[in-house]
Amino acid sequence: MILMAILIGTVAAGVGSVWLAAFLGFAMLARYTQHMLSLAAGALMATAFMHLLPEAFESEAGAHELFAWLLVGLVFFFLLDKAELWHHGHEHHQGEGHEGHDGHGHAEHHHHHHAEPRSGGWTVLAGDSVHAFGDGILIASAFMADMRLGVITALAVLAHEVPHHMGDLVVLRHTSGTSRAALVKVSLAGTVTALGGVVGYFLLTQLQDYLPYFLVVASSSFIYVALADLIPQLQKRLGLQATVAQIAWLLAGIGLVTVVSGLAH
């Protein structure tokens, strides 16, 4: 039962996010990208602070140890981001060298379209596959702790992967030549989420005592993505209407997690 739920949740998050990104990116010309960033940031923070962390702290693990793992997780994802930025920065120096006009240059989540065209497609697919595998393990750890928590976590992963995949599809459409080929390639990378979920399930059945630490690491991933990647992209000088819309979508992300939590309960 749990394994089936993990498979459904990981496929929905991994592949569903790709198709939703394609709908928003191709059919609606990415008009709602900024709204999705706000929604994803709210969903990730709500999932981490209102569900994953409380679930971890309800275990017998000590608070000091859990906070230490939260700190380790944040530093790890910071260093991982640095490695990605260095890798892509090196690639740009050898290629077209045109990155830098948006002030962030984040390589993993939203700015793949800056990559050098001939190699960018494979870089995106490789990065997506590794990222999707990790997401699958995180979703599996949530389902192993509580079915409701698994649903919420899968939803949060889906929300934050949509803007990520919109950038991926731009690169793959350029390197593959057609939107359909780009969609197929990114969807295949998304299916790796299910593989990560299956591996996570069998791994965690042997390591049940370490489940609270997996939940804390999952929280650190969500918090880092929200605070270091998504929210900085929203911190722009905007008009009153755009600012209100931004805040409304952020709160909608938090509210969506709360509503889904209540329904799943």
Is the pLDDT confidence value at 65 over 80?
A: yes
Q: What does the domain layout of the chain look like in residue ranges? A: 2-264
| 241 token code pair | 């209407």
Q: pTM value?
A: 0.64
- Predicted pLDDT at 105: 39
Q: What percent of the chain has pLDDT over 90?
A: 12
**For the segment 112-140, what is each residue's pLDDT rounded down to a tens digit?**
333 333 344 565 576 677 778 888 988 99
| 38 token code pair | 């706000």
Is the pLDDT confidence value at 151 over 60?
A: yes
User: Predicted confidence band at 233 (pLDDT cuts at 50, 70, 90)?
Assistant: confident
- Predicted pLDDT at 197: 92
* Mean pLDDT value of segment 73-91: 74
Classify burial at 255, counting beta carbons within 10 Å of its beta carbon; exposed 0-12, middle 13-18, buried 19 or more.
middle
User: Predicted confidence band at 168 (pLDDT cuts at 50, 70, 90)?
Assistant: low
DSSP string, the chain: -HHHHHHHHHHHHHTHHHHHHHIIIIISTTTTHHHHHHHHHHHHHHHIIIIIHHHHHTSSS-HHHHHHHHHHHHHHHHHHHHHHHHHHHHHHHHTT----TTS---TTTT-GGGS-HHHHHHHHHHHHHHHHHHHHHHHHHHHHH-HHHHHHHHHHHHHHHHHHHHHHHHHHHHHHSSHHHHHHHHHHHHTHHHHHHHHHHHHHHH-GGGHHHHHHHHHHHHHHIIIIIIHHHH-S---HHHHHHHHHHHHHHHHHHHHHHHHH-
* Mean pLDDT value of segment 47-59: 85
